[in-house]
Amino acid sequence: MADILSGGIAGIGFTWKSCPSMTELEMSSLDWVVDLMGLPEHFKNSHDGPGCGIIQSTASDSTMIAIMAARASHVERIKAEPTFMKWVSETGVGKTLKGIFDRVKVNKIDDEASGIIAPYFHDPAVFERFVMYCSDQAHSSVEKGAMLSAVRLRKLKATRGFLGNYGVTNETLQNAIKEDRARGYIPFIFLATVGTTCSCGVDQIDELGPVCVEEGLYLHVDAAYAGTFALCDEFKYLTRGMEHVDSFNFNLHKAGMINFDCSPMFFKNGTHVSRYFNVDAIYLAHEYQSTAADYRHLQVALGRRFRSLKIWFVLRNMGADKIREYLRRTELLAAEFAKLILENGKFEHFVPQHLGLTCFRLKNSTNADNEKLCNAINDDRRIHLVPSTVHGTYFLRMVVCSQLTTLDDVIYGRDVIFEIADRLF
């Protein structure tokens, strides 16, 4: 219904004035989300501070914006350092760029002689030695974000720990920062994952956050799948330590009973981030821009859809308790499958079941055995499994991800897996 209305209204929403209701409902609905999830108040649009929320299209968009915002923030910080200005005045490269650095600190500086626009906050001469960190279990969009942002990426090895699953420890992060600074690199962001794609592992924000604060790193949290579960009190451990986080995103279209696309993103300091992506043109100017929110400054695209209608419709028609009921049923069905898959003695869990995901493999088997089984199951076409690997170990994944899934469906899936496994092994 929301998508039908959004298409019918045909609002573009690139500025507040172009569609005030789109911006205002987005601001209000995201404040509701902050309250429902128990997130820090500074993420609210209505808060007195510089924090804010926006609905992005995907977690991939959120990741890239976070990386580029962190990069710009670090560039600004470095350019303000006396040692940097000394380099500018004493080195050949610095003298060449001195005309740029001596000018007013605005996002773009127009060289009238050449017509070249030099972006102050996105200066490649400064971020050439930047390096960012993420888990080796982070989503592929993190690597793509690093590529598009033209910065080095170091994937830190996740180890078994919290929840018996894979995550980056604070010691691993601290050692990486120390090593890279010794090599002459400049660490600027750690991108944590809450609910990894492969195994639903968690980078513990309450432990990693203080490290980022102490070392001056921007901290972004990608909780694309798992984040929605924080609506339930029993899953609040997923968002412990959010007071340390600079930005955070999750996908309501994955587990929030909302269809694609709806990916809320929150900033501790949205005012600063807006400066980094502010490109003003006369045809975008309006008389309210000094007081109203223009979401175009917090995303790659200019135009945007009326995505907040989806949140409004779901909360109005079903309510938060209905979403919580669905999330709890998802976890219960996954837990039931986790027990059922062990019943014939042929299978073992790769990691403990977490949220809606169960990871399993054949006992005393090779990767080739498990791949053969997975291919046979998918070729059979009664059910479909998506496999994965962690540190060279291949395993199968069963995930409950539909509002229509029942216990009978879960039992049926178990039966199909057992039947094909018995036939092959």
**Residue positions annotated with a catalytic role:** 139
Residues 384 and 397: their CA atoms lie apart, in Å, by 10
Nearest alpha-carbon partner for 290 in 300, 280, 304: 280
In 127-168 the beta strands, taken as DSSP E runs, fall at 130-135, 152-156, 159-160, 166-167
Amino acid identity of residue 45, one-letter, is N
| Burial class of residue 355 in the structure, from the number of CB atoms within 10 Å of its CB (0-12 exposed, 13-18 middle, 19+ buried) | buried
C-alpha distance across the termini of the chain, in Å: 49
Q: Look up residue 186 and give its DSSP letter.
A: E
Residues 218 and 213: their CA atoms lie apart, in Å, by 8
Widest CA span in the chain: 77
Instruction: List for the chain the helix, strand, coil content (%; round to 5).
Output: 50, 15, 35
Residues 262 and 264: their CA atoms lie apart, in Å, by 6
Q: Could you tell me which residues are beta bridge partners of residue 108?
A: 119
Residue 23 and residue 299 in contact, taking contact as beta carbons nearer than 8 Å:
no
